[in-house]
Amino acid sequence: MKLRLKPSFSFYRCVCGISFLCLPLPAVAGSLLTGSFAGPASLSGGVLTASAVLLLLPIMDEYVTPAMNYALAILGVCTAGVLCGLSVRVWLGLVLVVYGLCLLQRCRVRYAQLQPLFRNMAVWYSVENHARYSYSMALYLLALVLPGAGAPAWLSWVPLPFAVALYVLLLIRVFTGRTCFLRRARELEIKELIRGNLRTAPFQSGEKTEEMARMSRLYARVVSIMEQKRPFLAGGFNLEDLACAVYTNRGYLSRAINILSGRNFRQFVNYFRVRYGAELIRKDPTLRLISVAQMCGFRTTQSFNAAFKVNMGETPSQYQERIRSQKFTK
């Protein structure tokens, strides 16, 4: 059996590497050119430039390659500005212009594709977008308050701790997958609801308490059967089969599933099929995806890919590659 090596080149790693390179670049280059300490303004400029590069990293529904291109452009502008002897405010302003162009392009691409805006994962994309724009606003404000050349020396040190704090926050965001925009518990709650933590029943106004309690008990039995017996793997599994298994009628069961999961029956079943497929991939990342789709009960690879993307936020091939990489590093 051939050993699958983890690819050494990664756009994601390169963008992070460019960010780390931007941290000392202005101060070191400025000191070499002038023969003396470049000053706190150069340190702040380097930290803010590195923060801009980290903010280029894509959220879940974006591509990494454009981030790499803009990161290289920011690195070039920063290097050229320092080597040409421009003031920190000038070359940092040019850096933020490049970053702003990236934001504009991503907005154009996002709203040019209407279908992704109405998927259930769009809720989390919206949270990530709001976080990115909030951090971007902080980035521009810190760049705006950088003191000019004639400012007192002590005033030049004031923005530096705030710039460092922003950069540390963005590092946490990058390496933990959190937005650091909401509380951790709230982020987990949103992710669980989106990815289908079907045990969480939303409050339904207008529903009687007794009726809701009875529906919740039925729903708990349904989830237990789906998780333990996996009837969805059988060919021709339908709503009537599930209703017979929990001793109720189709209409009431369909209503319970719609209210408590936010899904229709087909979406409800596909959620469990996708979970089972993800489990198969985790156990054996070398499985062919067409085989995984068939073992999960999907009739076509296309329907498997679509359901997997909706429920997991990534395609089966992306998920499989990530699992392979994780197993290699262990």
Contacts of 280 (CB under 8 A, 6+ apart): 287, 292, 295, 296
Would you call 85 helix, strand, or coil by DSSP? Answer: coil
The CATH class of the 276-330 domain is mainly alpha
Over the Cα atoms of the chain, what is R_g? 25
pLDDT, position 113: 64
Model pTM above 0.85: no
User: Smallest Cα–Cα separation from 266: which of 311, 314, 220?
Assistant: 311
User: Smallest Cα–Cα separation from 313: which of 59, 12, 14?
Assistant: 59
Q: In terms of C-beta density within 10 A (0-12 exposed, 13-18 middle, 19 or more buried), how is residue 205 classed?
A: exposed
Burial 52-89 (b: 16+ CB within 10 A, else e): bbbbbbbbebbebebbbebbebbbebbbebbeeeeebe
pLDDT, position 2: 34
pLDDT, position 93: 95
Could you list the mean pLDDT of each consecutive 10-residue stretch along the chain, which spans 330 residues?
A: 41 88 91 82 94 88 81 94 91 95 88 61 79 94 86 85 95 87 81 55 52 84 90 86 89 86 86 91 88 89 87 84 71
pLDDT, position 263: 82
pLDDT, position 143: 93
User: Smallest Cα–Cα separation from 44: which of 95, 97, 84?
Assistant: 95
pLDDT, position 119: 59
Q: Where does the chain hold its CATH 1.10.10 domain(s)?
A: 276-330
180 DSSP 8-state letter? S
Phi-psi region of 300 (alpha: psi -120 to 50; beta: other; left: phi over 0): beta
Q: In terms of C-beta density within 10 A (0-12 exposed, 13-18 middle, 19 or more buried), how is residue 295 classed?
A: middle
Residues in the chain: 330
CA–CA dist 99, 104 (Å, integer):
9
Q: Are the CB atoms for 83 and 25 separated by under 8 Å?
A: no
pLDDT, position 327: 64
Between vectors from CA 289 to CA 283 and to CA 292, what angle results, nearest 5°? 60
pLDDT, position 72: 94
